[in-house]
C-alpha cells in the first residue's frame, strides 16, 4: 500500500477507552502529515469515506459492520481496532494500534478482500452483508416454512427457526453458534445453515461463490424477517422470493503483515489442549 494521505476515523464512544485511543491515534496521524476526519455518528453518512485512503474503526465488530457498505462502495481499506469483546474483524488490539500506527500510516499492511452477500427481498429492497443474511419468521414463536432454490433447482424445504446464509468471514459468527462450519476467509463459497430445523438431520450446505439462491416463504399468513449482519432488516415481500448472491463488491480489510487467520481463531475461540497434551504425553 502507498502511504496514507487522508484517514477517516469512526469511533464508538460507548466502548471503554475508544475516544481516548482515537485522540491519541489522530494526534499521531496529524503529526505525520496525514489529513484526518473523525465521526462518532453511527451509522456513518453515505459519503463520509469518499476520498479517503483508509478508515480506522475503533470499537467492536458491530461498529466495523456499520461501515461495510460505504467502505465497499468507495474501495476504502478498513483498519479495525478492537475495543469490544471477541474482535474477529477488528483484529488490531489497542496496544498493537499504538505501537504499529506509524507503520500503518506508511501503508505497511496487507489488504484482504472479503466477499459480501447481496440480498434482495423485492423491488427497491436491497442491501449488502459482510457476515450473514438471516431469514426467519417475523413472529419469534413461529417456525418458518422456507423453500430454497439454487440456480433455479430445488434444494429442499425447511421447517425451522430460520436459515443463515454466511460468507467465509461470517462463518465464525451466527453460523458457528448454529453448528455451521468454520470456513477460511479466502474460500469462495456461501454456507447455508438451518437454525433448529424440525428434522432428525441438521446439516449445513456449502454452495459455490457464483450461486444464485432464492428462498420462498411457504408459510400461511406468515411474514419473514430478513436481517443483514444482525443490524439492518429488510422488508420481505410475500409475493417475491428472498434472493441472495455474492456481490461484485468486496470489503478491503487491513491486516498486519504477519496476520494468521487460524492464530486469530485459536485465540478468539480459545482452542487449547492439542499441543499441551502432546507435550505432556509420554513418548
The DSSP result for 181-217, as a single string, is PP--TT--EEEEEEES-SSS----EEEETT--EEEEE
Q: Is the pLDDT of residue 283 over 80?
A: no
Question: What band does 43 get if pLDDT is binned at 50, 70 and 90?
Answer: confident
Cα–Cα dist 37/56, whole Å: 10
Tell me which H or E stretch contains 232.
strand 232-235
Cα–Cα dist 3/183, whole Å: 32
- The CATH fold assigned to 116-248 is Tumour Suppressor Smad4 (2.60.200)
Neighbours of 267 (CB within 10 A): 12
Q: For residue 243, what pLDDT is reported? A: 97
Of the residues 27, 45, 61, 258, which is catalytic?
A: 61
Q: Is the pLDDT of residue 221 over 80?
A: no
What is the per-residue pLDDT across 113-148, written as a single tens digit (0 to 9) for each? 999 999 999 888 899 999 999 999 888 788 999 999
What is the per-residue pLDDT across 167-196, written as a single tens digit (0 to 9) for each? 999 999 999 999 999 999 999 999 999 999
Which residue in 126, 133, 79 sits closest to 107, CA to CA?
79
Q: Where are the domains of the chain?
A: 6-109+256-280, 116-248
Cα–Cα dist 172/166, whole Å: 9
Q: CATH number for 6-109+256-280: choose from 3.60.15.10, 1.10.274.10, 1.10.10.10, 3.40.50.10330.
A: 3.40.50.10330
The pTM score is: 0.92
Tell me which H or E stretch contains 11.
strand 6-11
Residue 210 annotated to the active site:
no
Q: For residue 279, what pLDDT is reported? A: 43
Amino acid at each position: 500500500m502507498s502511504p496514507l494521505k487522508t484517514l477517516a476515523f469512526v469511533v464508538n464512544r460507548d466502548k471503554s477507552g475508544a475516544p481516548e485511543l482515537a485522540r491519541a491515534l489522530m494526534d499521531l496521524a496529524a503529526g505525520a502529515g496525514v489529513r484526518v476526519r473523525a465521526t462518532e455518528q453511527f451509522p456513518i453518512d453515505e459519503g463520509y469515506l469518499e476520498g479517503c485512503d483508509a478508515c480506522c474503526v475503533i470499537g467492536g465488530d458491530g461498529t466495523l459492520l456499520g461501515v461495510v457498505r460505504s467502505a465497499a462502495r468507495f474501495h476504502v481499506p478498513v483498519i479495525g481496532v478492537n475495543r469490544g469483546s471477541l474482535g474477529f474483524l477488528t483484529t488490531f488490539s489497542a496496544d498493537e494500534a499504538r505501537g504499529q500506527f506509524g507503520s500503518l500510516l506508511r501503508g505497511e499492511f496487507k489488504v484482504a478482500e472479503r466477499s459480501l452477500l447481496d440480498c434482495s427481498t423485492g423491488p427497491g429492497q436491497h442491501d449488502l452483508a459482510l457476515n450473514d443474511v438471516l431469514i426467519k419468521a417475523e413472529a419469534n414463536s413461529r417456525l418458518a416454512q422456507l423453500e430454497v432454490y439454487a440456480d433455479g433447482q430445488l434444494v429442499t424445504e425447511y421447517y425451522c427457526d430460520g436459515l443463515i446464509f454466511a460468507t467465509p468471514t461470517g462463518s465464525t459468527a451466527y453460523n458457528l453458534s448454529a453448528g455451521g462450519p468454520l470456513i477460511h476467509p479466502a474460500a469462495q463459497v456461501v454456507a447455508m445453515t438451518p437454525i433448529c430445523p424440525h428434522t432428525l438431520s441438521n446439516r449445513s450446505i456449502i454452495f459455490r461463490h457464483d450461486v444464485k439462491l432464492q428462498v420462498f416463504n411457504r408459510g400461511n399468513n406468515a411474514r419473514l424477517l430478513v436481517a443483514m449482519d444482525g443490524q439492518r432488516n429488510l422488508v420481505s415481500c410475500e409475493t417475491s422470493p428472498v434472493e441472495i448472491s455474492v456481490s461484485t463488491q468486496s470489503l478491503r480489510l487491513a491486516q498486519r503483515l504477519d496476520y494468521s487467520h487460524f492464530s486469530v481463531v485459536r485465540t478468539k475461540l480459545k482452542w487449547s489442549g492439542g499441543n499441551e497434551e502432546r507435550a505432556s504425553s509420554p513418548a
